[in-house]
Amino acid sequence: MRSTIGIGTLASVFALTGPALVLAQYGDIGDLEVARPSDRIDVQSAPPPEGAIVLFDGSGLDEWVQVDGLTPSWEIVDGGAMQAPARGGEFGIKTRRQFDGPYRLHVEFRVPYMPDESGQARGNSGVYNQGRYEVQILDSYGIDEPGSNDCGAIYEVSPPRVNACKAPTVWQGYDIDFRPPVFRDGAKVEPARVTVHQNGILIQDDVPIPVDNTRAGLGGDPSTPGPLHLQDHTDPVQYRNIWLLPKGE
């Protein structure tokens, strides 16, 4: 179902989860209490800088394939966002390109309002660097002490320093500085490391990732390049304005 961009307009999406239809809506968050008026305001979209590789600008999914290599079933909705089909992990997408060096990744996203759900069933998705290292996406708005599976976490590795989430249905942004692991003579001598800003707030500061594949990652040889992977976790999470800027050592 096509959804309408903008917090002032109600648009409902029904996500199929097992035998049940789950209401996930964009636009109207009703009487949800917000801590700050700015939590209802979309993050300012950041244009790609010179030298950046544009991975999604709303015009199409040419840069992407489904994780099994098939054509993506993600929909481009009104306003030029792409929306996860909410059908499960095998319907996630990955870039056709593989990335090996350090980079800055910019991703804008928003999660639906799912008032009848809780925990990991509420606006769940994830951004996997090299297909292996997940920065979690979730509706974690209002959680005082987010854990290692909340929004902004390096999944099951490091919780965010603070909860920087905006309210559900509101556009947010990640700026992810990623450095892949270092291998010498076939042995890993340095782990992957990541710094994350969410909505301009530092939430992960040069965090080492001791594992070679966080949960539900695409796996593969960690000494080799990998794609950017966006998870479909049965919730209709939306993405826009995705670009990657390679960085020299």
Structure tokens that stand for 49 in this block: 């800088």
Structural domains in the chain (count): 1
Percentage of the chain exceeding pLDDT 90: 76
Cα distance between residue 200 and residue 243, in whole Å: 16
pLDDT in the model for residue 20: 44
Task: Look over the chain and give the mean of its residue pLDDT values, rounded to a whole number.
Answer: 90
Asked if the structure places residue 6 within a domain, the reply is no
Asked if the structure places residue 4 within a domain, the reply is no
Residue-by-residue DSSP string for 46-68: PPPPTT-EEEE-SS--TTEEETT
Asked if the structure places residue 1 within a domain, the reply is no
Asked if the structure places residue 154 within a domain, the reply is yes
CB within 8 A of 142, min separation 6: which ones? 33, 35, 163, 165
Asked if the structure places residue 164 within a domain, the reply is yes
Asked if the structure places residue 128 within a domain, the reply is yes
Q: Is the full-model pTM beyond 0.85?
A: yes
pLDDT by residue (tens digit) across 116-137? 888 888 999 999 999 999 999 9
Residue range of the domain that includes 189:
11-246
Percentage of the chain exceeding pLDDT 70: 90
The answer to whether 195 and 180 are in contact (CB under 8 A) is no
Asked if the structure places residue 140 within a domain, the reply is yes
Domain CATH for 221: 2.60.120.560
pLDDT in the model for residue 50: 97
Asked if the structure places residue 17 within a domain, the reply is yes
Token pair 């993506």: residue: 72
73 in the Ramachandran plot: left (φ > 0), alpha (ψ -120 to 50) or beta? alpha
Residue-by-residue DSSP string for 20-32: EEEEEEES--TT-
Cα distance between residue 130 and residue 47, in whole Å: 23
